[in-house]
Homo-oligomer: A and B are copies of this chain.
Amino acid sequence: MQKTKVTISILLVVVTGAAAIGDTPSVAYPSSYRNWQHVKSMIIEPSHSLADPFEGIHHVYGNAKAMQGLAAGQYKRGAVFVFDLLAIEEVDATVAEADRKRIDVMEYDAERFAETGGWGFVTFVGDSTTERLEQDVVTACYACHVAAKPSAYVFSKYRK
Which residues of A are in contact with B by a Cβ distance under 8 Å?
Answer: 34-35, 37-38, 40-49, 51, 57, 59, 61, 92-97, 100, 127, 159-160
Contacts and interface: CB of A to CB of B under 8 A. Distances in A.
A96 B35 contact: no
A92 B97 CA distance: 21
Given A38-B59, A38-B61, A95 B127 contact: no
Given A127-B160, A160-B127, A94 B42 contact: yes
Contacts of A93: 44-49, 51
Contacts of A97: 40-42, 159
Contact of A92 (B48, B59, B96, B127): B48
Contacts of A34: 37-38, 160
Contacts of A47: 93
A51 to B, nearest CB: 8
